[in-house]
Amino acid sequence: MLVIQPIIFCKAPVPGQVKTRLLPACSPVEAARLHAAMARHVIARALALWPWAWVAADDPEHPFFRELDTRIIPQGGGDLGSRMRRAAEMAFASGRGGVLLLGTDSPHMSEARLKTAVRLLTGAGDRLDVVVGPVEDGGYDLLAMRGMHRELFDDIPWGGASVRDVTLRRAQAAGLSVRLLSMGFDVDTPEDLARARRMGLPWLE
């Protein structure tokens, strides 16, 4: 049976260092509290589906991560690609057959989206190599892989609007089978936050 390792990438909720695009609509402290609430929700949702999920922390010694009842791994240094690649390699080295990489910016994501990504990697019949959950800013809210594919992490223009497109081109050039899920969005700006709140997430209030 192919076992997928979910890994949630999370920053410590340090005021002034997280959710900075919410400023000045929110204070740095309010933005950090919101980030913490979003992260707790994303992590709890993943653990409810897969109790063996990991959290990749930027600062594993921060008190926020000590309260979590799951395995915490360090992200390490380098750009986002380096950190994701390192975590994926750790999962494959531990014997997992695939990985599901998540951030904490889409707390409104449905369980169905997560389950679909895993099913496309592990289901009967032709299994896909890569599943990408696109978001409106040009990135993605999840990346699932069956097998290690370093080309999806190296020399990607992280933080720009072409992350998703470059990732897809890399996968196609490598001959990998890829599926895009429906379009989603990240909660980065006050407008994004208002949109997520309209979806009926009371803990975002």
Query: In the predicted model, what is the mean pLDDT of residues 165-176?
Result: 96
Per-position DSSP letters for the chain, written without gaps between them: -PPEEEEEEE----TTTSSGGGTTTS-HHHHHHHHHHHHHHHHHHHHHH-TT-EEEESSTTSHHHHT-SSEEEE--SS-HHHHHHHHHHHHHHTT-SEEEEE-SS-TT--HHHHHHHHHHHHSSSSPPSEEEEEBTTSSEEEEEESS--GGGTTT--TTSTTHHHHHHHHHHHTT--EEE---B----SHHHHHHHHTTT-GGG-
What angle (nearest 5°) sits at the alpha carbon of residue 122, between those of residues 141 and 52?
A: 65
Q: pLDDT tens across 39-93, in order?
A: 999 999 999 999 999 999 999 999 999 999 999 999 999 999 999 999 999 999 9
Query: What is the number of domains present in the chain?
Result: 1
**Residue 168 is assigned to a structural domain of this protein:** yes
Q: Residue 145 is part of a domain; what is its CATH number?
A: 3.90.550.10
**Residue 204 is assigned to a structural domain of this protein:** no
**Structural domain containing residue 160:** 4-199
**Residue 118 is assigned to a structural domain of this protein:** yes
pLDDT value of residue 124 = 66
Query: In the predicted model, what is the mean pLDDT of residues 90-104?
Result: 97
**Residue 102 is assigned to a structural domain of this protein:** yes
Residue 204 pLDDT level (bands cut at 50, 70, 90): low
**Residue 205 is assigned to a structural domain of this protein:** no
- Mean pLDDT, the chain, as a whole number? 94
Separation between Cα atoms, residue 86 and residue 69, nearest integer Å:
22
pLDDT value of residue 205 = 62
Query: In the predicted model, what is the mean pLDDT of residues 8-26?
Result: 96
Query: In the predicted model, what is the mean pLDDT of residues 2-31?
Result: 96
